[in-house]
Amino acid sequence: MIIEALPAAAGGMAASAAEAVPAVEVLSAHKTYPNGTVALQPVDLTVREGEFVTLLGPSGCGKSTLLKMIAGLLEPSDGRLLLWRKPVQALQEAQRKLAFVFQSPTLMPWASVATNVRLPLDLAGITGAEADARVSNALALVGLGKFAGQLPRALSGGMQMRVSIARSLVVQPDLLLMDEPFGALDEITRHKLDAELLQLWQQQKLTVIFVTHSIHEAVFLSTRVVMMAARPGRIVDEVIIDEPYPRTPDFMVTPRFAQYAKQLQDSLLRVSEEADT
Ligand SMILES: Nc1ncnc2c1ncn2[C@@H]1O[C@H](COP(=O)(O)OP(=O)(O)OP(=O)(O)O)[C@@H](O)[C@H]1O
Ligand SMILES: [Mg+2]
């Protein structure tokens, strides 16, 4: 396993990232589904405040299972999950300060962009001027201020995904959990949203745990990439992407980018071959 010290430059944020408090602690958490599928062997993972950690691994290695357990959407069979040192299951939903972004934007087709973004606030009982301000702020953050009154079908796939991200930001989360959020988009749109996401991460001082199948996306975005293997699902490797932010598309054509991508590709091939043998 490759574990290096988190470099001070990583995150382009606090030079003290290495000392930052743990935002997420997964302590020997594992999951066997009721049908007997062992989705995850006991997993240990600490994500510090301000990190951008990506989970990478073959299909079925338990990435979504792990993310849902961190969100408190799924109970582990055993083990513990802490958010800012408190057990996730003990926190009320409003106290969790996290948002989950799925691959599909899952917008209500009959409702305007603003109404879609407002939904989590309606559910939390936040109304009036406070809700209005949060919705406009979130839409402005994703560059959709002018589209508040439109229906989702009037927007492109990339714009719909931005609405979904605005809907997640409206609860002012500290932790953003994203399960292949841009997997269904074309490459150019994906690059654009990746760059925007990094800006949001820095501006809003978020902690992000991101799932993707794209090695390049993982290298471009992350302070750290966690490699998982399947059957049974587990964490097998970890690579620190020791590169400063802001990262521009130029980073993607550097030899260092290619080295990181190769390292992850080799690791992914290894775990895929192990699973086939
Ligand atoms: N509700 C469920 N009931 C039974 N088995 C499940 C359930 N959800 C997932 N699994 C199984 O658990 C394992 C891990 O699934 P999971 O969806 O977490 O993987 P993943 O890494 O997110 O895969 P993908 O990259 O395809 O999204 C797989 O073998 C899957 O078939
Ligand atoms: Mg998944």
Residue 13 has pLDDT above 80, yes or no: no
Lowest-confidence range among 51-65, 67-81, 182-196, 258-272?
182-196
Contact 235, 64 (CB under 8 A): no
Longest CA–CA span in the chain (Å) reads 59
Alpha carbons 61 and 231: distance in angstroms, whole number: 7
User: In testing the pocket of ligand 1, which one of 54, 65, 180 has its CB within 8 Å of the most ligand atoms?
Assistant: 65
Closest CA to 50 of 90, 92, 15: 15
Q: Which residues contact 229 (CB under 8 A, 6 or more apart)?
A: 57, 58, 61, 236, 271, 274, 275
User: In testing the pocket of ligand 1, which one of 54, 61, 102 has its CB within 8 Å of the most ligand atoms?
Assistant: 61
Question: 55 forms bridges with which residues in the sheet?
Answer: 211, 226
Q: What is the pTM of this model?
A: 0.91
Per DSSP, 7 falls in state P
Per DSSP, 80 falls in state E
Residue nearest to atom 7 of ligand 1 (CA): 33
Q: What is the pLDDT at residue 15?
A: 44
Q: Does domain 12-97+174-264 have CATH number 3.40.50.300?
A: yes
Lowest-confidence range among 217-221, 249-253, 271-275?
271-275
Q: Is the CB of 145 under 6 A from ligand 1?
A: no
Note the ligand closest to the C-alpha atom of 37.
1
Q: What is the pLDDT at residue 277?
A: 66
Residue 10 has pLDDT above 50, yes or no: no
User: In testing the pocket of ligand 1, which one of 32, 56, 59, 211 has its CB within 8 Å of the most ligand atoms?
Assistant: 59
Q: How do the domains of the chain map onto residue ranges?
A: 12-97+174-264, 104-172
What is the residue-averaged pLDDT of the chain? 90
Q: Is the CB of 59 under 6 A from ligand 1?
A: yes
Q: What is the pLDDT at residue 53?
A: 98
Ligand 2: centre distance to CA 180 (Å): 7
Q: Which residues contact 231 (CB under 8 A, 6 or more apart)?
A: 60, 275
Q: What is the pLDDT of residues 107-142, one digit of tens each?
A: 999 999 999 999 999 998 999 999 999 999 999 989
Q: 52-56 and 224-229: which strand pairing?
A: parallel
For residue 89, what pLDDT band results from cuts at 50, 70 and 90? confident
Q: What is the pLDDT of residues 219-235, one digit of tens each?
A: 999 999 999 999 899 99
Q: What is the pLDDT at residue 17?
A: 56
Alpha carbons 122 and 119: distance in angstroms, whole number: 5
Q: What is the pLDDT of residues 172-210, one digit of tens each?
A: 999 999 999 999 888 988 998 999 999 999 999 999 999
Q: What is the pLDDT of residues 23-38, one digit of tens each?
A: 999 999 999 999 999 9
Q: Is the CB of 39 under 6 A from ligand 1?
A: yes
Residue nearest to atom 10 of ligand 1 (CA): 39
Residue nearest to atom 3 of ligand 1 (CA): 33
Residue 5 has pLDDT above 70, yes or no: no
- Dihedral pair phi/psi, residue 196, rounded to 5°: -65, -40
Residue 75 has pLDDT above 60, yes or no: yes
Give burial (CB, 10 Å; 0-12/13-18/19+) of 121: buried
The more confident residue out of 79 and 20 is: 79
Q: What is the pLDDT at residue 2?
A: 37
Atom of ligand 1 nearest to the CA of 68: 18
Q: Is the CB of 41 under 6 A from ligand 1?
A: no
Segment (H or E) for 275: helix 255-276
Q: What is the pLDDT at residue 18?
A: 59
Contact 208, 53 (CB under 8 A): yes
Q: Is the CB of 212 under 6 A from ligand 1?
A: no
